[in-house]
Structure 1
């Protein structure tokens, strides 16, 4: 982004021409540097028009801001980080991450709630300051609210001509969290849906605190909370992390929950909780445990460990144009890549913040974040360690299909049984693959892939030489 810089020390600067504000029915959101469909811009102008559902939109933006400044695990004061806003043409998406890295929040303002002109598609940060939050809290009734996202001529001028600059710590776990969330939730299915009134009763009945993960099971028209997993259940780790939904319940039309397939005895997993509001959706994605952020989940490691995925991602990235829905089948056809390579490349794009995933529509969407893609590998210490093991020739394959990895002066044994893999290291013993592969498994897979590629090149050279040999 043009006006936003990320230093190696993990500081993020936001520069605005003036503060955002709410005055005389006009909500003016100031933009920082952004990437648009026509290129980088210092202060992009995305939308001007009317929010037809003012009260739920104001409450949703407040909820998003509350997530961004909250540490749900070991609470302590933290700096506020401005939301990321993407204009996809028919909708405006606003995203934030909790300070502890365990809760991802998104407010999607959809076409039925927007009446105005889209001037540009793209992504930026928007200024959300204390006075704006106080003003949003007073929005009520059914009157429409005029909205300007980056429109200089319509922005609220509370500090005429003044440049506003914010510099806040931006932990690397935010980048890793954005990457992990889109990979994890792309594997989720809808597990339950309840009407607005039943959603209100369910959310208000939840305990404020729970040490162990709870599970929500569909039961008739509502959800029932249990202490044990069962088929069809959705994990609820830390019910207090849903509290930003409470002020939105008066607008709720329905609530949907998404999660992976679980069985009796399953461990805690991530989950998605979605409130349907008039013309918009408010979404919270929770990490598997209250004390566990998304940055260490390791879901992206398999896909980004290949050199091929990086090249494919560059190709697909050039084909994206801030679509509200990115269709893998269509991208595969347009790019000439197979579907499997296309999906791996989309994961690679996600690790640099270039795509997210919308569980409501089971589709990727294009957005850009102010991060350098080259930093991704460095932000994954397991992948970095695995590549170092391969470079040090620490991987040895045995005759029975096993692999021995020399690591920290000892040997770790990696076994493959079909799609199942195990390792004798402490990490694997603790997590059993639920938080992605350990560095030893990654190293073995990288080494095996390198060996297969070299063998393929040798075969190709032999075949080519044979085809050139003169006939006898």
Structure 2
């Protein structure tokens, strides 16, 4: 059986060798291939066993499914989307994006909530559709929840029978979103924590809708909502985007929030909202604005233009084996790279979706998305435009810190001032660097790095 073909560049499609079936109590899961710690497998089987916390696990899976089919900006009906599942040995991570691309959701099912066998470590994507949602909704506190994860199915069995879900194409914008979220959240710190009862009161008190971004600041044993940013605050852009947390509140043990450093003059930024459940964590990451998806944030663009990090990423990537928590110090020792270059390589791997970032543990984790990882650069129009400017000799430096970039709309001036770079183009004027560098800055950086590399090579030859 083969999935229907989709437009090039919109998604990837997959083939199945046979349909899944249930025969004399044996559930056979049809797979279309996946990535494991031993490499690609035609018919991998990642996990089979029991989720020991049935009710919260079922509710959290429904929350993940709700995010995947919701378009928070300009709501309209949308089809079901398929989460990505990674088996890391002591845990299962299930990830998805909203249909609008502005909310990233992840369910981490940790060792205390798992009882079963890990057959392989690896990553696959799974479909969550209507029949599965109905099955999950019937799971009660005493029902056993048996779970099998293969290359293309997530199977949930309750006392009422079995439901097997088949994989469907994964949108390209999810790859860009995965890459952006990892780079953005790697710079976040814990900003506040509430115990279960306090978390319930706070989340239920939030306004259902807010036109402008709100800010949340610690206030004693609770969090206080403010219309303005302040040091230590966390941005809350679109409180309605947290609504999938509400059905989970009866299981909540704690709520934690994470964000980047902000000042009184900061604009809207992304934030992470983590609900601790028995043996698992349900995490939502929100984009800076209700109307913005992560795929256009541009946080990965600088990493994509760095040749050294790209080469180091090949070396570091070969040493990964679906670790649930990547240790940069150990990777540095094994690779022979400095710790700084190892961390840069992990960032580069994140730009192709090969590592994610867990704010709860302040650590990277390894996954392999079901994509051709080389597509991430081709999917970014700003990077493509910058490369075209470089290839067209449109960049000319008029000093150590100033470049003139020739475009059809006129010359743009790019200025370097330490770590800060500015441009005279309309994009830079509108966003001031908050959505990543413009194509002119990217092109100037590429030319500057190439010139620096040539100078270094020449100096080495002279020595």
Comparing 224-233 with 78-87, greater Cα deviation is found at 78-87
CA deviations over 1:250-278 (Å, ceiling 9, x no partner):
00000000000001021000000000000
Gaps of 5+ in 2: none
Comparing 56-65 with 73-82, greater Cα deviation is found at 73-82
Instruction: Note if contact 1:4-1:33 (Cα within 8 Å) is conserved in structure 2.
Output: no
| Structure 1 match to 2:177 | 177
Aligned mates of 1:454, 1:249 — CA distance in 2: 58
Secondary structure of the residue aligned to 2:203 is: helix
Aligned mates of 1:227, 1:155 — CA distance in 2: 43
* Structure 1 residue 20, shift from structure 2 partner: 9.3
Q: Does 1:77 align with 2:62?
A: no
Instruction: Note if contact 2:9-2:172 (Cα within 8 Å) is conserved in structure 1.
Output: no
Q: Does 1:399 align with 2:399?
A: yes
Aligned mates of 2:349, 2:59 — CA distance in 1: 31
| Structure 2 match to 1:238 | 238
Q: How does 1:202-221 map to 2 (within 5 A)?
A: 202-221=202-221
Aligned mates of 2:368, 2:82 — CA distance in 1: 15
Aligned mates of 1:282, 1:385 — CA distance in 2: 38
Distance 1:9 1:451, change over 3 A: closer
Distance 1:29 1:139, change over 3 A: farther
Secondary structure of the residue aligned to 1:435 is: coil
Instruction: Note if contact 2:132-2:156 (Cα within 8 Å) is conserved in structure 1.
Output: no
Distance 1:447 1:215, change over 3 A: same
Aligned mates of 2:190, 2:422 — CA distance in 1: 30
Q: How does 1:40-439 map to 2 (within 5 A)?
A: 40-150=40-150, 167-168=168-169, 170-399=170-399, 401-439=401-439
Instruction: Note if contact 2:132-2:164 (Cα within 8 Å) is conserved in structure 1.
Output: no
* Structure 1 residue 8, shift from structure 2 partner: 2.2
CA deviations over 1:41-80 (Å, ceiling 9, x no partner):
2342112222110000000111001111111101112221
CA deviations over 1:108-142 (Å, ceiling 9, x no partner):
00000111211110011223231221111111124
Instruction: Note if contact 2:11-2:172 (Cα within 8 Å) is conserved in structure 1.
Output: no
* Structure 1 residue 227, shift from structure 2 partner: 0.6
* Structure 1 residue 146, shift from structure 2 partner: 2.6
* Structure 1 residue 449, shift from structure 2 partner: 0.9
Aligned mates of 1:404, 1:289 — CA distance in 2: 32
Distance 1:233 1:19, change over 3 A: farther
Aligned mates of 2:442, 2:393 — CA distance in 1: 14
Distance 1:459 1:112, change over 3 A: same
Secondary structure of the residue aligned to 2:13 is: strand
Comparing 339-348 with 450-459, greater Cα deviation is found at 339-348
Comparing 45-54 with 270-279, greater Cα deviation is found at 45-54
* Structure 1 residue 33, shift from structure 2 partner: 2.8
Distance 1:27 1:350, change over 3 A: farther
Instruction: Note if contact 1:3-1:34 (Cα within 8 Å) is conserved in structure 2.
Output: no
CA deviations over 1:187-226 (Å, ceiling 9, x no partner):
0000000011111111111111111001111111111111
Distance 1:277 1:31, change over 3 A: farther
Instruction: Note if contact 1:213-1:236 (Cα within 8 Å) is conserved in structure 2.
Output: yes
Q: TM-score, normalised by structure 1?
A: 0.90
Instruction: Note if contact 1:30-1:127 (Cα within 8 Å) is conserved in structure 2.
Output: no
Aligned mates of 1:275, 1:105 — CA distance in 2: 11
Aligned mates of 1:374, 1:149 — CA distance in 2: 26
| Structure 2 match to 1:469 | none
Aligned mates of 2:39, 2:3 — CA distance in 1: 13
CA deviations over 1:356-398 (Å, ceiling 9, x no partner):
1100000000011111122121111111211221222222222
* Structure 1 residue 279, shift from structure 2 partner: 0.1
Comparing 132-141 with 174-183, greater Cα deviation is found at 132-141
Distance 1:353 1:458, change over 3 A: same
Distance 1:171 1:272, change over 3 A: same
Instruction: Note if contact 2:127-2:167 (Cα within 8 Å) is conserved in structure 1.
Output: no
CA deviations over 1:130-169 (Å, ceiling 9, x no partner):
12211111111245423222399x9869xxxx9986645x
Aligned mates of 2:37, 2:182 — CA distance in 1: 22
CA deviations over 1:55-107 (Å, ceiling 9, x no partner):
00000111001111111101112221221111000000101111100000000
Instruction: Note if contact 1:27-1:156 (Cα within 8 Å) is conserved in structure 2.
Output: no
Distance 1:412 1:291, change over 3 A: same
Aligned mates of 2:37, 2:45 — CA distance in 1: 12
Aligned mates of 1:249, 1:358 — CA distance in 2: 22
* Structure 1 residue 310, shift from structure 2 partner: 2.1
Structure whose CA Rg is larger = 1
Secondary structure of the residue aligned to 1:101 is: coil
Distance 1:20 1:439, change over 3 A: farther
* Structure 1 residue 408, shift from structure 2 partner: 1.8
